Amino acid sequence: MKSSLSFIRKTASRGVPLPGGHRPAGDAHRPEPGCVRTWRAVAPPSVAAWILALAALVGATTRSALADEQLFGFVRGAETLPKGRSEIYQYATLRTGKAEGRYYGFDFETEVEHGFTDRFQASASLIHHYFNNRGVDGDRDALDDANASRLGGVAFSGKYRIWSPFKEPLGIAFRLESGYLWHDEVDGLLQHEFYLSPEIDLQKNFRDDTVICNLNVGAEWAWGKQPAEQYPREVSLQAAAGVAYRFAPNWFVGAEGNVRAEYPLFDLKHFEHATLYAGPSVHYSAKRWWVTLTWTPQVWGSGVDEPNDGRTFAEEVRHKIRLKIGFNF
Amino acid sequence: MKRIQYCAVSAILLSAATVHGASYHTVESAQKACFPEGAEFIPVPLTLTKEQMKAIEKDSGVRVRLSEQKVWRATRNGKPAGWFIVDEVLGKHEFITYALALDAAGGVKSVEVMNYRETYGYEIRNTDWRAQFLGKKHGARLKLDEDIQNVSGATLSCRHITDGVKRLLSLHELVLKK
């Protein structure tokens, strides 16, 4: 699903150019020729910026589509499913808390994953959103009141494991996710987004595999974000890390965090916003199913034209709570 | 009403998906499998001291989690026939219980998986995989993908069983033989 670290952008309020490039709510489906986005810098993309972007492409993302059994809500491991085995996952993510008003954004993702070899797995997922918000009408996070569900889109991913964390000194896997999204996840505005999100997943285990450390690094290129957003394309650099400890048979407790920065028009000089979410997670696994619960508040955030108070709300929220359930078959 | 239906469906899915772990051997049946020619088994209560645990860790390179070890001395017609040890190693989520039998000379005679509850990796029960340990003695490398072949999809179980056997061979060398 397109969302671990990414929260695309959104509507702004009542007809004035909005912080972070937000579009006036009533004009969500209409071009805005006169709208001025207040970037921190305006310059053509530099060679260095593209080199950085390509370097990130070799790395990877931190979206939320699944893979194998997951100890964290927003961080992936470097394992893959054994050949011929499959899993089905259901995610439910609550994003809540804006600068003002009441905001509840739910993301539901159903994903099926299959191991085609012992090193390669692929997945397909269906994404749905439900929004319930009222009074979110500040300068930095203006949204229309809503009580509606929207089809988010579809996503596909492939993951190839280079080294196993159980056998080699370091587990390494490459993952590529792509998807098509009809409605954005901030408040369900229409869009026609196609995204491509490469990622590298690292995993190091300690103490007989009872302490699991994961690191994901990646990027995401997205096209077709209009008319939900002002700008048609953007690139995001993202990373996530987590540490989990098996404190009892079947049980893991951990801490995780993820950081993401977005740049419209694939221009790394044009910073839009960045966030750091971090919090605890707990995981339980039985023989044929597992469940993970994670709570990550926004620890730090910064957005263009938003108050410099350590949070950003134009596209982000105060809290993300994610419940994942997976079944093996 | 919809909420009740949702809960009912969820409960059915969860209960259908919950499969209890498989037990393949009791202690008695594992002893018979390891010593098919027959033997008498004399329990040997064993609590490792901290010094012994450290010595085993240093010798084997494998962490010793528990000081209690379930050990039986096997005899036949009053003569030593070997050792029978029940051990546990970590699976991905639960413990894997297995038995290791050593012959009188300290070589691996048999490895029997007694209890396996993991989702994947049950291939470690395959006779061919377990046969790789036969005859291994203290000092053997016992390294995955070297003298012990891995089973894809069961890597964690293969590695932990392999480490467990290596640790028990050190236990035999440093504690039981003396």
pLDDT in tens, A257-272: 999 999 999 999 999 9
Taking an 8 Å cut-off on Cβ atoms, the answer to whether A289 and B18 are in contact is yes
**Any B CB within 8 A of A328 CB:** yes
3-state secondary structure of B157: helix
- CB A287 to CB B118 under 8 A? yes
**Domain span at A163:** 11-328
Structural domains in chain A (count): 1
**Closest Cα to residue A139, out of A226, A231, A20, A29?**
A20
Among A285, A256, A237, A322, smallest CA distance to A64 is for A322
* Closest residue to A208, CB basis, from B117, B118, B160: B160
User: Residue A38 falls within a domain, yes or no?
Assistant: yes
| Chain center to CA of A4 | 2
pLDDT tens, position by position, A15-38 = 223 333 333 333 333 333 333 223
**Minimum distance, in Å, between the CA of residue B153 and any CA atom of chain A:** 5
Q: Does A90 touch chain B (CB under 8 A)?
A: no
Q: Do A327 and B13 touch (CB under 8 A)?
A: yes
B51-60 average pLDDT score:
96
Give residue A20's pLDDT: 38
pLDDT of residue A260: 97
pLDDT, position B21: 57
Which of A85, A168, A205, A208 has the highest number of chain B CBs within 10 A, making it the mutation to test binding with B?
A208
**Is A5 inside a domain boundary?**
no
For residue A202, what are the contacts with CB-CB under 8 A and spacing of at least 6? A78, A170, A171, A172, A214, A215, A216, A217
- Is residue A168 a part of any domain in this protein? yes
In a domain, A6, yes or no: no
CB contact under 8 A, A83 and B160: no
Top residue of B66, B87, B120 to mutate, by most chain A CBs within 10 Å, is: B120
> Would an 8 Å CB–CB cutoff place A209 in contact with chain B?
yes
Burial group, residue B152, by CB count within 10 angstroms (0-12, 13-18, 19+):
middle
Cβ atoms within 10 A of the Cβ of A195, count? 25
Mean pLDDT of A199-206: 96
Tell me whether A30 touches chain B (CB under 8 Å): no
Tell me: pLDDT of A62 over 50. no
A247 touches B at CB < 8 Å: no
The verdict on a CB contact (< 8 Å) between B90 and A209 is: yes
Please tell me which of the candidates A118, A249, A250 has its beta carbon nearest to residue B152.
A118
Residue A47 lies in a domain: yes
Asked if the structure places residue A1 within a domain, the reply is no
Decide if A4 is inside a domain: no
This complex has an ipTM of: 0.74
* Cα A113 from chain centroid (whole Å): 19
Residue B21: which of A208, A246, A287 has the nearest Cβ? Answer: A287
CATH number at residue A221: 2.40.160.40
**Shortest Cα–Cα distance, A150 to chain B (Å):** 20
Residue A131 inside a domain? The answer is yes
Kindly report, residue by residue over A214-257, the tens digit of the pLDDT: 999 999 999 998 888 888 999 999 999 999 999 998 899 999 99
Q: Which residues from B are below 8 Å from A208, CB to CB? A: 63, 65, 89-90, 160, 163
Would you call A217 helix, strand, or coil by DSSP? strand
